[in-house]
Amino acid sequence: MEQAETLIEIKNLTFSRGERKIFDDITLSIPKGKVTAIMGPSGSGKTTLLKLIAGQLKPDSGDVFIEGLHVHGLSRKKIYQLRRKMGMLFQSGALLTDLNVFDNVAFPLREHTKLPEEIIYALVLMKLQAVGLRGAKTLMPSELSGGMSRRVALARGIALDPEMIFYDEPFVGQDPITKGVLVKLIQTLNDSLGLTSVLVSHDVDEVLEIADYICVISEGKLIAEGSKEVLLQESTGYVHQFLNGLPDGPVPFHFSKAPYSEDLKYG
Amino acid sequence: MKKQTKIEIWVGLFVLMSLMALASIAFQVSNFSEWKERPTYRVSALFDNIGGLKVRAPLKLSGVVIGRVTGIEIDPVSFKARVNMAIDQSFNQLPVDSSLSILTSGLLGDQYVGLEPGGDEEVLKPGDEIEMTQSAIVLEDLIGQFLVKLSDSE
Amino acid sequence: MSRPLSGAQTLLQGLGATLLDKLAAFGRGFLLMLSLVVAMPAAVLRVDLLFKQVYVTGVLSLPIILTAGLFVGMVLSLQGYNILVDFNAEEAVGSMTALSLLRELGPVVGALLFAGRAGSAMTAEIGLMRSTEQISALEMMAIDPIKFVYAPRFLAAIITLPLLIIMFNALGVFGGYLVSVSWLGVDAGAFWSQMTSQVDWNEDVVNGMIKSVVFAVLVAIIALFQGVNAIPTSEGVSSATTRTVVHSSLGILGFDFILTSIMFN
Ligand SMILES: Nc1ncnc2c1ncn2[C@@H]1O[C@H](COP(=O)(O)OP(=O)(O)OP(=O)(O)O)[C@@H](O)[C@H]1O
Ligand SMILES: [Mg+2]
């Protein structure tokens, strides 16, 4: 591990949904001021991990520390204070459907600052420009495509210039050009503002381009973590399979654990 | 912000309409206007039986409401019903020997106290007790008496 | 593996489980109500949010409430007239209509309509906000959904339902006037004077208003609770909406009986 300061520390985290263990004793740390990518098969719990970090879900056991604060032991008020330093891009966008694009991006500014409307206007246009949607500012969320909503959500997530930002699959549904723009945007935000980014994504190329640090989770375990140089050197095993997109290997592609032949038996 | 203005206008209208409705219920429908405390004085009377008389029942003189029943209790000495009444101060010239009876308004109406003025020079004063009272007519008693008479005459 | 259970055992077990579920739901509903009460000062301060909700729950319910009030009043006095005229007491039709409206029908019918019109909408909206992760997003933006979403709706319902019921009653009395005085020829003076002598401000009007506030709290809590606990799917939201209407209606009728027996026994 590099000598970077740790911002988020996850210790022995265990979490289950009903009977199913999503995380089994995961320990990992996310360095400050870097882009950390979390990768793993679909359904492996990446979104769940972000929600655990942000304190929206409570772990069965284990702890999450952000800047030394024990997230799940904080009072409601403290946790809301902490969240002011976070930005989150939801996988679904999660725009407020009764506000138009402009008001959605302006929303955190209006709620958390007392800035005059002119300044809010300028800030919002700046953020919308950054995601290439300045022209869409009067549209309602229902009039946006999936990729557009997610970009608006990204603009909203960065509206308050947070200290740490979580991107849940920012590249899904974006065309190659937009993808390139977003990669640049994430990189610029990280470098110029010095914020800490946690990036959940399946797009290996993009991740390799911007991530300083990569964690791979599968089946409730952290199976690899390290700088991308280190991970790329692996030529066998899970990580090799995952980063190269090989269909067969140690990471099971299928959700179910029962052998296929068993499941095929009708009834 | 135009939407917000529209909302504000409508909410204003909404509140205005409900205030108007409230005012009409208060002054047109209910007795709210007579509710503002007018000066009264209190008298009481003992009844053998008050029937279905209730607190707040009117006290009427020649059909005009001049007061209300304020309380009903049992007199601990005589075991009769003591009815306390508040009479409007403007009716302060009632003779002291007036009599009270419990009556029913119409066939199905509520019971009220009727006041029959006497002839004395002296007038009722606050805290006085009206001596002459006639109890409510209880239908069961009437029927009972009627049945007794029937069986007697047989 | 557990041993196969006998029928009676399964039945008993099912019954116990359901009972525990219901108890837990009551507990959670109570906690929700507590947190809403705690959030009331914040809701009062956010006038913009409150106005929006007063508009949505109150102004948009006006058409149905006013129409229903007028017709209920008209029907009441028509029925009342037909009964009272046999006793030569048709002048009491005004007081009868007003008393039935103020004491029972205004609060109960008003609240039932409100549950169907505003309560169900509240549940559906919150259920959908949850299923589209909008509530989650608010939490992540450090905005407490209790203060921002639930409390303004709760407060708005408590403000608007009593006001709606007052308007319902006023229009009902007007409907009664139309039918009995303008149509059936009851003397207008007798209509109003009988009414004012029979309808007591404290006993009838204020008690009716207390009922409507209780019903407002009830409908708002049920609607919010069902929205918050809706399974975030289209099916889940739709059945939560149905539950809001059913539970509110039963709750209104039950509480009405309890309140009536306390107030008018
Ligand atoms: N609300 C829920 N109730 C029950 N199980 C859930 C719920 N949300 C997620 N899960 C389960 O938790 C697991 C992890 O879900 P999560 O959304 O974190 O996956 P993910 O890694 O983000 O997948 P993807 O890459 O497809 O977004 C999934 O297998 C899912 O079945
Ligand atoms: Mg996900």
What was the ipTM of the complex prediction?
Answer: 0.87
Q: The pTM is what?
A: 0.81
Neighbours of chain B (3+ CB pairs under 8 A): C
Q: Half-sphere exposure of A70 toward its Cβ, with a 13 Å CA cutoff?
A: 10
User: pLDDT category, B11, cuts 50, 70, 90?
Assistant: very high
Question: ∠ CA(A133), CA(A137), CA(C136), 5° rounding?
Answer: 85
Range of the domain at B54: 38-143
Q: Which of chain C's residues have a Cβ under 8 Å away from the Cβ of A107?
A: 141
* Same domain membership, residue B95 and residue B59: yes
Cβ distance C143 to A111 less than 8 Å, yes or no, reads yes
Our count of domains for chain B comes to: 2
What tokens appear for A263 in the block? 């499941």
Question: Using a CB cutoff of 8 Å and minimum separation of 24, what contacts does A77-83 make?
Answer: A79/A55, A80/C142, A80/C143, A80/C144, A81/C142, A82/A55, A83/A54, A83/A55, A83/C139, A83/C140, A83/C141, A83/C142
Residues B61 and B111 in one domain: yes
Look at residue C114 and tell me whether its pLDDT is greater than 60.
Answer: yes
Question: Residue B150: inside a domain, yes or no?
Answer: no
- Output the CA A43–ligand 1 centroid distance in Å: 5
Radius of gyration of chain C (CA): 22
- What pLDDT is recorded for position C1? 46
Q: Which residues pair with A217 in a beta bridge?
A: A222
Please tell me if residue C58 touches chain B, with a CB cutoff of 8 Å: yes
C47, closest residue in chain B (CA to CA): B8
pLDDT digits (tens, 9 = 90+) for A37-70: 998 888 888 889 999 999 888 899 888 999 888 8
Q: What is the pLDDT of residues C153-168, one digit of tens each?
A: 999 999 999 999 999 9
Percent over 90 (pLDDT), chain A? 18
Burial of A110 (0-12, 13-18, 19+ CB in 10 A): middle
Shared domain check, B71 and B15: no
pLDDT at A238 exceeding the cut of 60: yes
Domain match, B82 and B109 both? yes
Q: Which range has the top average pLDDT, A202-206, A240-244, C224-228?
A: C224-228
Helix or strand (DSSP H, E) at A43: none
Residues B12 and B57 in one domain: no
Query: If you average pLDDT over residues A219-240, what whole number do you get?
Result: 76
What number is the average pLDDT over the span A257-261?
A: 67
Report yes or no on B109 lying in a domain: yes
- The answer to whether residues B52 and B1 belong to one domain is no
Nearest to C141 among A76, A97, A108 (CB): A108
Asked whether residue B60 falls in the same domain as residue B136, the answer is yes
Mean per-residue pLDDT for A189-208?
Answer: 84
Residue A178 is predicted with a pLDDT of: 83
SS3 B40: strand
- pLDDT exceeds cutoff 60 at A256: no
Q: Do B14 and C163 touch (CB under 8 A)?
A: yes
Query: How far is the centre of ligand 2, averaged over its atoms, from the C-alpha of C126 (Å)?
Result: 22
- Nearest Cα to C210, choosing from C161, C173, C248? C161
- Domain contains B149: no
Identify the band that residue A253 occupies on the pLDDT scale cut at 50, 70 and 90.
Answer: low
> What's the whole-number mean pLDDT along residues B86-101?
88
A contact test, residue of C141, C153, C237 with most A CBs within 10 A: C141
Q: What local confidence, expressed as pLDDT, does residue C148 receive?
A: 92
Same-domain status, B68 and B26: no
Rounded-to-integer distance, Cα A197 and Cα A261, Å: 42
Assigned domain for B148 exists: no
Cα A150 from Cα A90, distance rounded (Å): 8
B99 and B45 in one domain?
yes
Is residue A1's pLDDT more than 50? no
Residues of A in contact with C128 (CB under 8 A): 97
Q: Is A62 in the pocket of ligand 1 (CB under 6 A)?
A: no
Using CA atoms, how far residue C249 sits from A235, A245, C67, C112, C172, in Å, is: 66, 57, 20, 6, 21
Sequence-distant (≥ 6) Cβ neighbours of residue A162 within 8 angstroms: A84, A85, A86, A87, A195
Average pLDDT, chain C: 91
Query: Rounded to the nearest whole angstrom, what is the distance from the C-alpha of residue A63 to the centroid of ligand 1?
Result: 20
Q: Are residues B46 and B4 in the same domain?
A: no
Q: Say how far apart CA C104 and CA C108 lie, in whole Å.
A: 6
Single-letter code of the amino acid located at B102: I
Residue B20 has pLDDT above 50, yes or no: yes
Give yes or no: residues B13 and B46 share one domain: no
CB contact under 8 A, B25 and C167: no
Reduced to 3 states (helix: H, G, I; strand: E, B; else coil), residue A74 is coil
Give how far the C-alpha of residue A191 lies from the chain's centroid of Cα atoms, to the nearest Å.
Answer: 18
Residues A140-147 have a mean pLDDT of 89
Asked if C204 has any chain B CB less than 8 Å from its own CB, the reply is yes
The ranges assigned to domains in chain C are: 48-263
pLDDT score recorded for residue A116: 93
The helix/strand/coil state of B46 is strand
| Spatial separation of the C-alpha atoms in residues C75 and C175, rounded to whole Å | 8
Structure tokens at C155: 């407060």
Considering only CA atoms, which of A42, A64, A33, A63 is closest in space to residue A203?
A42
Average pLDDT over residues B23-38: 77
Is the residue at B7 inside a domain?
A: yes
Give yes or no for a contact between B56 and B113, defined as CB atoms under 8 angstroms apart: no
Same domain, B2 and B76: no
Of C55, C163, C196, the CB nearest to B31: C196
